[in-house]
Amino acid sequence: MRDVAVIGVGINKWGEHWKTSLRDLAVEAALKALEDAKVDAVDSIQIGCMSGGLFAGQEHLASLVADYLGCAGVPASRVESACASGGVAFKAAYAEVAAGLSDAALVLGVEKMTDVGGDEATYTLGTAADQEYECYNGATFPGLYAMMAVRHMHEFGTTRRQLSMVAVKNHDNGLKNPDAQYHAKLTPEEVERSSMVADPLHLLDCSPITDGAAALVLCPLDRAKKLSGHPLVKVLGVGHATDAIALHSRKNLVRLDAVEKAAARAYKAAGVKPSDIDLAEVHDCFTIAEIMVTEALGFAKPGEGGKLAASGATALGGKIPVNTSGGLKSKGHPVGATGVAQILELVQQLRGEAGGRQVRKAKVGLAQNMGGTGGSSTVSILGKA
């Protein structure tokens, strides 16, 4: 297995792009990544997209993207694992380069979500849950995560204010990210006064509907040393796991087993432990998700993720900054692109190119990307080469 580096990154401004198509979003981010990497050709393309068909009426993204990127003939694949599609696409490209199948691989994550109405978007996102046993009976993702939050509060004493502090912190970080969907400072009171979606989750506990794309270029580390004009960033380890898709089939409503397993595999591959991580991008689709994920990653003991968030430890300047990009909550959540953008944030941080949200002396970063209520998850660990 060869050592692998990320030598190029590209992202567009995330938000509501009424006049920009799915293909244009994808190509814009990809061209930026190729320019950043200083390469004009790749050997393979991996595309993370949850549901181009239902959101934008477009499947067969492998052919579409390769064609419109000017790479017709290059082998390309579309990868789907719900909201973890981007993380799994990154894993596939990493494996190709590490195995010697590609000397330059493009990873692209893209989703165009605003071409449908609210009801259609809710239905499309719901396909990441158990259609027969959850959605048929009226469950939605806000409802499912609300059940997780209620149980977490019951078992551990997690408070409404601790949930709010996750949203406040991530919006503070998003103010420093020019590509974030929302640049809006929040107070805990504003979060708690926002419309109730599914008790105890309010509107401002939820990630938004977003259009956007993000891209990366990977190559062997020895080649990166000759190509890249940036500080080198190496992939240290990748973990991947699944769990029961239906929440009612889980052994425990307050543990994310797939995240724990993926993290254990990534830590082992990278030869690091939670205390070695300098910053993390995690899947905060809802505020309770960030709290539970920090526990699953070993940053807090089970049941203490809420206290960790409220303590300031996960803020910029804290012990373990989490979601310096603004996270899904502020940066946005174009579902297929999220996992790729998380890794892009790590690369910018490890290069020292994150501007006002830069983590001082960052050497090792972790990205955790999750599908559904934790039915699938990837954990990727990157470090300075």
| Helix intervals (H) in 158-304 | 160-174, 188-193, 221-227, 257-270, 287-296
Please, are residues 324 and 173 in contact by the beta-carbon 8 Å criterion?
A: yes
Q: Which of 83, 206, 219, 285 is catalytic?
A: 83
Strand spans (E) along the chain: 4-11, 44-48, 76-79, 105-112, 196-198, 201-202, 211-220, 233-242, 279-281, 364-371, 376-384
83 part of the active site: yes
CA-wise closest residue to 171 among 186, 161, 150, 156:
186
Which letter, b or e, does each residue of 243-271 get, where b requires 16 or more Cβ atoms within 10 Å of its Cβ?
bbbbbeebeebbbbbbbbbbbbbbbebbe
CA-wise closest residue to 1 among 176, 235, 214:
235
Q: Which of 17, 152, 202, 333 is catalytic?
A: 333
> How far is 296 from 63, CA to CA, in rounded Å?
37
User: What residue type is assigned to position 244 of the chain?
Assistant: A
240 part of the active site: no
Please, are residues 42 and 106 in contact by the beta-carbon 8 Å criterion?
A: yes
Please, are residues 9 and 179 in contact by the beta-carbon 8 Å criterion?
A: no
> How far is 37 from 247, CA to CA, in rounded Å?
41
Q: Walk across the sheet containing 364-371 and list its strands.
A: 76-79, 44-48, 105-112, 211-220, 4-11, 233-242, 376-384, 364-371, 279-281
CA-wise closest residue to 69 among 22, 134, 20, 23:
23
Strand spans (E) along 71-132: 76-79, 105-112
> How far is 97 from 105, CA to CA, in rounded Å?
7
Q: Which residues are catalytic?
A: 83, 333
